[in-house]
Structure formats: structure tokens, C-alpha cells
């Protein structure tokens, strides 16, 4: 006997629409969507009343370093467990802990812990790692430590081919595209980021199989009308791009322009958040460097913006407000689009029968009411 559960009185976000008067039936996977008239309380062992709120596929964050004082690179077995436990509060049901430019032994230790976390249940799921650096541009290192930037060499990471899902690199540093081909064979998305590539180099990389661009606008040359650069290549192609929609990393007007210029299915909302996320202002740390958080903006001592303190619920809310896009489109940027990019759309990223029962229930302010992972309530607001 399946332990059936139901969510009633919700507005289900599905297939780019909002469905009302439907009941969502699930166990660890989604079992059915029923018209309200065909549902009776005896059909389910547990019923959640959404109270007119939205029922959305759970958010998938493909770029997050840390939150609540911990970082994916901490030599601490509890760091990822803490992230898995707290992230459902922000609507996240799955994520890619993201490593930074460090010495290889530290990156390896981090990938080992991420590998173990992929096997664990409870809280938000760890889908693998986003490896940001060390094969990046010194010129656009952002908050990454310059002394550990290395020449691109896939053999140095190959042993973690099953853990890495996205690797951010500067394509202008590659001798050829063999690196990209090896990543594709391992099912790893190659992403342009922390890069000084020009428009031609970026487009060439995209044609060679690079499918993703890391935090569009940040840590790359700005858009210039005679030098379109990476940003021009993103707006002029169907490559997927991350956006940090916190209104600090990218001005709301630029968020709107990206929304107008790009097919919405190629925009992926991320947080790029660091350990100070979900904590009050104060001193923090990122990639071995001191960070100061003031008015919820994180900077290095020299003023460089260093990661964010953004959460996925806030990213959805801000991008929705800033662009006037319909909510279903924005939700897809935090669920279906990242799932598709990771090759996981068959099992997650939308509310469809047979997929994982990963949901977030939120109101008109994108304030999270409850989060469900594999059919289990992992967060309910007080």
C-alpha cells in the first residue's frame, strides 16, 4: 500500500500555466493530478492545505558556495548536511555545492565530501558539484584567489567525473576543445565564467559544446557595442546563462533586457551565495579571503563583490518583480531549466506524474510556506 499524500487548495504551476481546483497526489513520486471534485479526504493519509498559495516544483540551485556560516569547501563533514537541512526554507529541493579556486588537495577533499553527500537522504538533495575554477582568467578572477589559478587539464579532475556536473572555466585558456569533449563524455556541462573571452572566442566555445555561462555580467568583460564579448555571445545564441538576480550583481534594468533578449528557457536563476547567506551583516570569509557584509552586500576588503547572500526564493521574487514575466516562466528558471541543463528533467524540475515529489508552496510574495522533498515535508513555516 502506497502511503498517499495530497496537497489541496493550491495553485499548481505546471506547463507554463497556473492550474486551480486540482489536487496533487504523491508518495515519493508524483502519482496524479486530480480535479478537486474527484478527490475525497479518505484517498490520502496526509493532506496539506495550501490555503490558496502556489505549488511550484522545488527550486534547483546550480551555483551555491554556502550559507548559515558553512561553505562547501570547509573541511567539515557537517557543512553539507547543514546546507541540506536549511536550504528547503528557501524553497530549494536540490543543489550543486560549488567549489572555488583552491589548491587541488582541498578541491579533492571537497569533491569527496560532495560525492558522499550525493548518497545521503534528508533535506535538499545534493546532485553533484559545480566546480568553479581553478581553470579561470586571472584578469576576471573576481573573489577567486589568483595564486591557485591553473592551466586547464582535465586529467587533474577526471577521477571526479561522476561528481562534477558543471565546470566553470575561461575558454580562452584552453589549448583546444579536447577538454570540452571529455567533459561532455562524462556528462559535465562546461560553462564560460571568470573569463576574458571575446565574442568570437565565446561563440566558438559554444559551438564546440559549451552549454552554460556562469553568472552573466559578473566576472567577464562588460558589453561594448564594438566588442560584444561573452555577454554579446549569450544574447546572440541559445546558450544557457546563470543570473544572480539580487539587484546588486545585476541591475534590474539589465535583468529585464536579458529577459527580453533571450528565450526564457535559457535563463537559470542562481544565488552564488556564500557562508554569510541567511546570517546578519558582519565579517565573513570566501575562498580563503576575508569578506565584509554590509547592508546584505558581501565585498572583499578592496571592494570587489564577493559572492552573494541571496536565496532562491528571493531570486524568484526579484526576477518576477523586475521583469514582469509570468510566474510560471520565472519558476521554470529555478526548476525546469536547471534540471534540463543537468540532464535530470526526466525525474525533476516540473510537476508531472512519475517525477520526484519535490515541491515548494509559497504565497504572492514568494514567501515559503512548506517544502517537500521526495514526498517528505522537510520545511513548514512557523
| Residues engaged in binding Zn ion (CB under 5 A) | 132, 272
Our CB check for Zn ion shows the closer of 246 and 272 to be 272
User: CB-wise, 132 or 358, nearer to Zn ion?
Assistant: 132
- 204: exposed, middle or buried (Cβ count in 10 Å: 0-12, 13-18, 19+): middle
User: Which of 272, 281, 302, 313 is an active site residue?
Assistant: 272
**Grid coordinates of 203:** 561563440
C-alpha grid cell for residue 47? 493532506
Q: State how far the Cα of 48 lies from the Cα of 219, in Å rounded to an integer.
A: 43
Q: How far apart are CA 291 and CA 300, in angstroms?
A: 5
Helix segments in the chain, DSSP class H: 79-86, 104-118, 178-185, 199-207, 229-235, 252-261, 312-323, 327-333, 336-341
Nearest by Cα to 188 from 343, 61, 348 = 343
- 299 vs 253: CA distance, rounded Å: 22
What 3-state DSSP class applies to 370? strand
Minimum CB–partner distance for residue 87 and Zn ion (Å): 16
Q: Which residues pair with 70 in a beta bridge?
A: 67
Smallest distance, Å, CB 191 to Zn ion?
11
Query: What is the C-alpha separation between 147 and 251, in angstroms, rounded?
Result: 31
CB of 193 to Zn ion, least distance (A): 8
Vertex 89: Cα angle to 83 and 93 (nearest 5): 65
Least gap, CB of 173 to Zn ion (angstroms): 18
Instruction: Please identify the residue of the shown chain whose CB is closest to the bound Zn ion.
Output: 272
> Between residues 242 and 358, which has the closer beta carbon with respect to Zn ion?
242
| 77 classed as catalytic | no
CB of 272 or CB of 341, closer to Zn ion: 272
**What single-letter DSSP state applies at residue 84?**
H
Beta carbon of residue 297, minimum distance to Zn ion (angstroms, whole number): 15
Joined together, the cell numbers standing for residue 198 give: 571575446
Nearer to Zn ion, 298 or 325 (CB): 298
By beta-carbon proximity to Zn ion, the closer residue of 136 and 163 is 136
Question: Minimum distance from CB of 347 to Zn ion (Å)?
Answer: 26
Give pairs for 234-237: CB < 8 Å, separation 24+. Answer: 234/202, 234/262, 235/261, 235/262, 236/199, 236/203, 237/203, 237/206
Q: Annotated catalytic sites, by residue?
A: 272
Amino acid at each position: 500500500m502506497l502511503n498517499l499524500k495530497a496537497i489541496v487548495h493550491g495553485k499548481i504551476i505546471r506547463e507554463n500555466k497556473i492550474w486551480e481546483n486540482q489536487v496533487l497526489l504523491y508518495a515519493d513520486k508524483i502519482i496524479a493530478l486530480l480535479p478537486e471534485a474527484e478527490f475525497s479526504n479518505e484517498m490520502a493519509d496526509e493532506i496539506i492545505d495550501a490555503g490558496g498559495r502556489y505549488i511550484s516544483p522545488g527550486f534547483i540551485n546550480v551555483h551555491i558556495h554556502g550559507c548559515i556560516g558553512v561553505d562547501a569547501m570547509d573541511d567539515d563533514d557537517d557543512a553539507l548536511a547543514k546546507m541540506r537541512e536549511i536550504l528547503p526554507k528557501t524553497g530549494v529541493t536540490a543543489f550543486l555545492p560549488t567549489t572555488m579556486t583552491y589548491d587541488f588537495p582541498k578541491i579533492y577533499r571537497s569533491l569527496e565530501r560532495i560525492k558522499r553527500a550525493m548518497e545521503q537522504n534528508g533535506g535538499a538533495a545534493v546532485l553533484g558539484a559545480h566546480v568553479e575554477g581553478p581553470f579561470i582568467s586571472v584578469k576576471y578572477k573576481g573573489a577567486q584567489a589568483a595564486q591557485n589559478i591553473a592551466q586547464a587539464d582535465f586529467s587533474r579532475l577526471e577521477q571526479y567525473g561522476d561528481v562534477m556536473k558543471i565546470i566553470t572555466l575561461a575558454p580562452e585558456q584552453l589549448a583546444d576543445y579536447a577538454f570540452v569533449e571529455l567533459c561532455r563524455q562524462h556528462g559535465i556541462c562546461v560553462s564560460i565564467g571568470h573569463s576574458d573571452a571575446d565574442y568570437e572566442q565565446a561563440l566558438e566555445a559554444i559551438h564546440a559544446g559549451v552549454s552554460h555561462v556562469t553568472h552573466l555580467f559578473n566576472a567577464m568583460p562588460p558589453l561594448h557595442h564594438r566588442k560584444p564579448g561573452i555577454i554579446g555571445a549569450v544574447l546572440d545564441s541559445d546558450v544557457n546563462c546563470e543570473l544572480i538576480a539580487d539587484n546588486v550583481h545585476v541591475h534590474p534594468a539589465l535583468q529585464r533586457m536579458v529577459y527580453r533578449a533571450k528565450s526564457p528557457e535559457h535563463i537559470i536563476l542562481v544565488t552564488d551565495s556564500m557562508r554569510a547567506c541567511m546570517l546578519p551583516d558582519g565579517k565573513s570569509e570566501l575562498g580563503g579571503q576575508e569578506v565584509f557584509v554590509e547592508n546584505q552586500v558581501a565585498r572583499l576588503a578592496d571592494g570587489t563583490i564577493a559572492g552573494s547572500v541571496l536565496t532562491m526564493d528571493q531570486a524568484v521574487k526579484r526576477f518576477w518583480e523586475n521583469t514582469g514575466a509570468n510566474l510560471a516562466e520565472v519558476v521554470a528558471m529555478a526548476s525546469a531549466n536547471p534540471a534540463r541543463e543537468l540532464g535530470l528533467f526526466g525525474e525533476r524540475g516540473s510537476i508531472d506524474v512519475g517525477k520526484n515529489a519535490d515541491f515548494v508552496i509559497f504565497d504572492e510574495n514568494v514567501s515559503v510556506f512548506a517544502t517537500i522533498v521526495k514526498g517528505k515535508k522537510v520545511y513548514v513555516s512557523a
